[in-house]
Chains A and B, each alone.
Chain A
Amino acid sequence: MDPVTLPVLALLAGAGLQLVLAPWLSPLAKGRLAALAAALAFAAALALLPATMHGDVLTATLTPVWDADTAVTFRVDGLAALFTLMGTAAGTAILIFSIRYMADEPQGLTRFYTIMLVFVAGLLVLGSAADLLIAYVAWEVIGLCSYTLVGFWYRQKAAVDGARKVLVITHLAGYGFLVAIVLLQLRTGTLDWADPKLAAGFTTGVAALMIVSAMAKSVMFPLHTWIPEAMNAPTPVSALLHSACYVKAGVYLIARMYSIGPWTPELGGPLAIVASVTILVGVIFALKQTDLKRLLAFHTVSQLGYIVGGLAIGTAWGIAAGLFYTLSHALFKGTLFMVAGSVQHATGTRDLTRLGGLSSVMPWTTKIWIVAAAAIAGVPLTNGFVAKWLLFGAALDKGWLFLLAAGWIGSILTAFSFLKATVNVFYGAMPVELARAQARHELHEASPSMLIGMGLMAAGCVVFGLAPQLMMDAIVAPAVAGLGFTPDVATSWGGIATGRGAIGLTVGATLVAAALAMGWIVWRLADAPTRATVAVFTGGEPLPAGDRPGAVDFAGMAEDAFHPVYGVDPDPLWLGIWSRAGRVATGTRNAFAPLLERRPALLILLATLAVAATLALG
């Protein structure tokens, strides 16, 4: 067995065993089996790392012939290794979390674990496929896995509506990828990502088709509206979908396009503008939410804007920033979703207006949340800070101040949004219903396996925040090199850039830090007000009845502040097209039915005359 194919085979073997052994496995055993398969895949993926770090490209053929002359061949370079590691790491942590989380599910567990494993395997195949057609198959397989997992509770309207939206938006846009592949094959005769001939057919139009597909998968505005609707899935599904296996597929495609040839001169700028809009739209909509998972979903939209913005810059620095952000986002967003799931598991709700004061009941969950929330907000010493640091540097280096400004404003609003979520879930007074539940000892800390799952990913946020060079040198830099760029940016402890651009960024950061320190000194030396008597900073807003501003207050403030933005909803446009098509089809049929469906003899006669006339006229 070739080590290159081992991660995928481990996952598929796990999926197969789920099906075969289903009658004899308990719910917990099914979860453990799935987690074990993912852990084996992760170990196998780690084993590939030494080679890809040295710039080696590993190849292996899974099946010699599949379709036409296409073999299912894997080519693992730096970028493939990055996605393989990300998928298996996130998959392992989330499946460990799922063991206890899903154990009480009355039915469908075999289906759940089987599809989860295929889902991860799909991402690995997408990342490693040597051939465009195989990549497209993997692209659609993860789409189908997502569809079936989001619709896991298929008797619930909200769940299946969400699943439908996932399928329709991402699959329709995915035809862009397929058409691009067909055009490349016709023009160049090859489908091999690494074949130099491919560059000859890689026109701006082909690149644009691929980007549209990637935009839908990676929730770029205006194709982002499916993701908040997908929130009615089991939490492990949301965690996997948001962190690694679905939204990152589009990121992969955008990055992989650099393997074929440069496409950024024409399309990089527009894509960066889309990414900037996405950053802002995502976070502004997140501010409004009172459902914890919907809030996180809109943050995924915003965060993907950062990632795609980095990749659109088209320099080694920008790509390094985008890829570093990709991995970082997998860690903190996976953690956040699992915490949200733990909260729902413990309290039965994810409604921020019905939550509060959980830090006393769920102390470990609270700590894990705070780490991940700090990371997504870009607090120093977390991986999120390093990712933003790199991105801002790359945008400055390129001279794209709009991207920098969007990222900066987005970061502030992200911090604001997570302050709201943190306070509303974990601090302040506990709502009456929860307090009663606590009195009945119904509230509980997450189980050990759930804590391990989310704790592992949160630990990654800290480790790669303190020592980002581990991630940069071992995973990101080889991926950048694999795309044909010379990695000229490096990071050191805490995220200090040590490569190109280090001086500018470091001086800038020092100035900001000095200004903040001076401000604080002046504030202290002046007649500073006494400490607030309430636990929560309100930003000057009057406090509502109670001791803290609640989610509704924040949502109200956000609605007041960003009212025009909330009117930006592309869904009516898509629905309008569909309903208009329906009306046109019905109207046309009704108009022609008297001839086409009720007078067959006349129709045949007319058709005969038409065929005769057409052929006679040549």
Chain B
Amino acid sequence: MVSPTLTLPPFALPLAVGLAGALLAVALGGRNKAWWGAAILLVATAVAARLVGHSALGATLGAASELAALALVAASGTRDAPAATRTFALALVPAIVAVGAGLTLIRLGHLRPAAPWDTIAVGLLMLGFALKLALVPLYFWLPVVARAVPAVSLVLIVGVVDTGVLADLAELAQVAPWILADHLAPWTVLAAASLLGGVALAIAETDLKTILVFTGVADAGLILLGLLTVDPVSQTGASLGLVGKALADTALFGAVACGEAALGRPLSIATTRGLAGRLPVASAVFMVGAGALVGLPPSLGFSAHWRLFRTAEVVGGPVMVTLVFVAVAALLLVMVRALHRVWLGPAETETPAPPAPVAARVVLIVTALAIVASGLVPRIFEVPTEMPSHALALVEGTAP
């Protein structure tokens, strides 16, 4: 993650989300030893990657965390898990190789190689990050994985691993801004396609987990937009968006995990109705998470979104602002539809179901409070307004 101004250490976010995911898994039960092994490895390597920071070791640990996510999918024990693992591997392995090669060519961003190697490096990085983040059009693995794994796994895959990948990209944007700034058009197209495409895919979907992962793609597109300029306001918007996304994902997938546990089946906007009567806490937390994802105040999502609207004006003028407005408006409609179909309103049956376990409710409440509290003090997540000197030198062309 981009360095915050105050004292929140970079590893705090993956650690917090990882703990939330683990506690939810304990509370809701049903996970096997292999799953726990993969989950612990995933969180530990992600935390270590952030502790080490932007370095070869950090990148390696990040890749290890991504591979642990692959193991987590394999260990899910569902009927679709093997096929999902294969599809995920088909995306992840080339992505890790591409990013690794790209980073090697540019020496982690500290060197700009001569043409055409600089362009090749950018191409590798673009392809790798797009695959890792399931940006449109390279999202093929995401719906398959979302349907195959329980929601609690998605807390870790999306909340920890995806956030880590975005943080890697944000760090790279600070260390080597030319990667984005000198190739603005393709990155902008990628961001815009993910923003609009993610929402469109979510609109066309009925499985709640898949809807949520697609909205995450749209959110990643918005965050990517914030990284495209060297403007500190935009960088801060991206940084806040990243933290806000992790918290929102934890709340949303956590609530869905409680719903899945209560009903014993995946939640669908086509068939699931009125869960709020059975699971009022999960319902309220889903509402908070949805608000954060959409950027409603008082959440960290708002602090990110107003900056990213500003970035849109800077990057693409009224056209880009309109595009972002359309995407965010559609995102709101998607989330409201999910909230009102699945959670609010009369229940599908009057059959009583057990409430969510106390521990799960506590985790969800703490997550919701974190979303609101972080929105009330967004400064602790803001990035420094000055760029590192070597990055400035690269931008200004004065680097040796």
Contacts and interface: CB of A to CB of B under 8 A. Distances in A.
Nearest to A587: B204
Given A136-B297, A157-B346, A172-B329, A607 B138 contact: yes
B276 A600 contact: no
A494 interface: no
A607 B91 CA distance: 12
Contacts of A270: none
B336 A615 contact: no
A581 B325 contact: no
Contacts of B365: none
A596 B140 contact: yes
Interface residues of A, number: 55
Contact of B378 (A67, A582, A615): A67
A25 interface: no
B314 A186 contact: yes
Interface string A137-176: 1001100100000010011110011011001100110010
Interface stretch (A177-185, A364-372, A415-423, A519-527): A177-185
B54 interface: no
B4 interface: no
Nearest to A607: B138
B366 interface: no
A614 B336 contact: no
A611 B186 contact: yes
A431 B127 CA distance: 74
B119 A615 contact: yes
Given A186-B314, A586-B204, A612-B123, A596 B139 contact: yes
A597 B140 contact: yes
Contacts of B297: 136-137, 140-141
B143 interface: yes
A581 B199 CA distance: 11
A144 B126 contact: no
Contacts of B296: 140, 144, 171
Interface string B122-150: 11001100110000011111011000000
B204 A616 contact: no
Q: Which residue, of A154, A156, A163, A584, has the highest number of chain B Cβ atoms within 10 A?
A: A154
A178 B309 contact: yes
A94 B323 CA distance: 42
A204 to B, nearest CB: 14
B325 A179 contact: yes
Contacts of A185: 310
A603 to B, nearest CB: 6
Contact of A160 (B140, B236, B321, B340): B340
Contacts of B143: 597
Q: Classify the interface of chain B: helix, strand, loop or mixed.
A: helix
A528 interface: no
B313 interface: yes
B332 A133 contact: no
Contact of B332 (A66, A171, A597): A171
A21 interface: no
A349 B90 CA distance: 63
Interface stretch (B219-227, B241-249, B258-266, B298-306): B298-306
B140 A175 contact: no
Nearest to A160: B344
Dominant secondary structure of chain A at its interface with chain B: helix
Given A603-B140, A615-B186, A582 B203 contact: yes
A601 interface: yes
Contacts of A581: 203, 330
Nearest to A606: B137
A486 interface: no
Contact of A600 (B127, B140, B303): B140
B357 interface: no
A582 B204 CA distance: 6
A163 B339 CA distance: 12
Given A160-B340, A607-B130, A181 B306 contact: yes
B191 to A, nearest CB: 14
Contact of A168 (B116, B306, B321, B332): B332
A342 to B, nearest CB: 28
Contacts of B378: 66-67
Contacts of A578: 333
A611 B119 CA distance: 10
B384 interface: no
Contacts of B77: none
A596 B283 CA distance: 33
Interface string A522-537: 0000000000000000
A164 B329 contact: no
A179 B313 CA distance: 9
A307 to B, nearest CB: 26
A586 to B, nearest CB: 4
B87 interface: yes
A157 B274 CA distance: 9
B111 interface: no
A151 B325 contact: no
B183 interface: yes
B177 to A, nearest CB: 17
Given A67-B303, A144-B296, A615-B122, A155 B346 contact: yes
B138 A589 contact: no
A588 B90 CA distance: 24
Interface in A49-70: 65-68
B343 to A, nearest CB: 8
A608 B127 contact: yes
A20 interface: no
A585 interface: yes
B215 to A, nearest CB: 13
Contacts of B390: none
Interface in B193-215: 200-201, 203-204
Contact of B345 (A136, A156, A168, A181): A156
A512 interface: no
17 contacts: A155-B277, A155-B344, A155-B347, A156-B346, A157-B346, A164-B336, A168-B336, A175-B329, A178-B305, A178-B309, A179-B321, A186-B313, A186-B314, A586-B203, A589-B200, A600-B87, A615-B120
Interface of B: 87, 90-91, 94, 116, 119-120, 122-123, 126-127, 130-131, 137-141, 143-144, 183, 185-186, 200-201, 203-204, 233, 236, 274, 276-277, 283, 291, 296-298, 302-303, 305-306, 309-310, 313-314, 321, 325, 328-330, 332-333, 336, 340, 344-347, 376-379, 382
Given A179-B321, A186-B310, A611-B126, 13 more contacts: A67-B303, A155-B346, A157-B345, A167-B336, A179-B309, A585-B204, A589-B201, A589-B204, A597-B139, A603-B138, A607-B127, A611-B123, A615-B119
Going nearest first, the 7 A-B pairs with the smallest beta carbon separation are A585-B203, A585-B200, A586-B204, A137-B297, A160-B344, A585-B204, A589-B204
